[in-house]
Structure 1
């Protein structure tokens, strides 16, 4: 069972629809009292980092996710959900979940529009299972004004260029995030979600 974190915002419905299309069972997790067994977690996200963290905290979801990740449950963050995996975001000067070391920075690019919106290439940099059986460079759909800067190079799974190169997919064997929207990225996006659902298994906590 795949648990989808619902903190009252974001692209939850389209993620649910994509998971259902792939044939995997899923359930919405709306607060920290949820007790059913889940095998993986997805944290969707569209919106503002500070507001999202406030909602996660108030609903008990921050504590819930920490407990589950401590148990070794894999977690995938999408768009803002990926940014929240890091320690801090410049958006609202927000302290985030801190599963991965690093900071989320506001885009500063010359001769490019912000937000970064539309299709762009993601280059596989780690041969991580999240990008398994996809081309070395694959187009995905982006909408964002901030980008992740992981502290450790080994946490960069995919790279994209928009004015400058940035990490568009990050993580390790348990905690993963993608800046783009796989649920809006056609067959390539479905393949990435299928890879997460198929290959992300319970591991020793990071």
Structure 2
């Protein structure tokens, strides 16, 4: 079984993520600083809250450069919710520089009358580029969202799934190289989310 590190910087829904992985037989080990990364085969970057405070906490823990080096080395990483947004270069939510391991920026969801922000609730994924998260012929997947911002990757092919918000397609999941991330919460998306986490674990464990 692969050793999966859960990055704990004080702004993630750690318990629900841990429980979801535990149901799949995977025990996550807590990562608080750079030294904790080294024994890990793969990483999970969760996140709930705002962009700038999250980046500040990662900086304070010495994890910004460590995560950049980790991704550059090819170690797999799965971002969840704010964890997806932090992977990009910047966000309209704040002024901090992001991790920048994915090219592109995070932008505010369109403001449309009758569609309150945050975008909260269940919605179906619209497949884009095939990936281990959403391989071809995957059944329609309804997943749970809570967000007011969405990533706009510089490489359109990095988007593996979209979601329709107020008539606009926005990024719901990305996959580029060894980096995967979900804007939605797979750990709160029932059997569909669990299946995605299983596919990611199987991919991490594959030769």
- TM-score, with length taken from structure 2: 0.92
Aligned 1:61-76 pairs, distance under 5 A: 61-76=63-78
Contact 2:31 2:37 in 1 (8 A): no
Aligned position for 1:119: 122
Matching residue within 131, 138, 142 for 1:139? 142
SS at match of 1:130: coil
CA distance in 1, matches of 2:117, 2:39: 40
SS at match of 2:187: helix
Q: Are residues 1:60 and 2:41 paired?
A: no
CA distance in 2, matches of 1:35, 1:194: 22
Matching residue within 99, 102, 110 for 2:101? 99
Aligned 1:159-170 pairs, distance under 5 A: 159-163=162-166, 164-170=168-174
> CA shift at 1:24, angstroms?
1.3
Equivalenced residue count is 203
> How has the CA–CA distance of structure 1 residues 35 and 115 changed in structure 2, closer, same or farther, with 3 Å as cutoff?
closer
Return the structure number with greater relative CO, CA threshold 8 A, min gap 6. 1
Q: Note the alpha carbon deviations across 1:133-175, whole angstroms, 9 max, x for none.
A: 7735310000001111111111110011011110100121301
User: Moved runs in structure 1, 4+ residues, more than 6 A?
Assistant: none
CA distance in 2, matches of 1:149, 1:134: 25
SS at match of 2:34: coil
Matching residue within 17, 20, 23 for 1:21? 23
Alpha-carbon RMSD: 1.8
> How has the CA–CA distance of structure 1 residues 132 and 93 changed in structure 2, closer, same or farther, with 3 Å as cutoff?
same
CA distance in 1, matches of 2:52, 2:206: 29
SS at match of 2:94: coil
Contact 2:51 2:94 in 1 (8 A): yes
CA distance in 2, matches of 1:168, 1:60: 28
Q: Are residues 1:196 and 2:200 paired?
A: yes
User: Which structure 1 residue ranges, 5 or more long, are not aligned?
Assistant: none
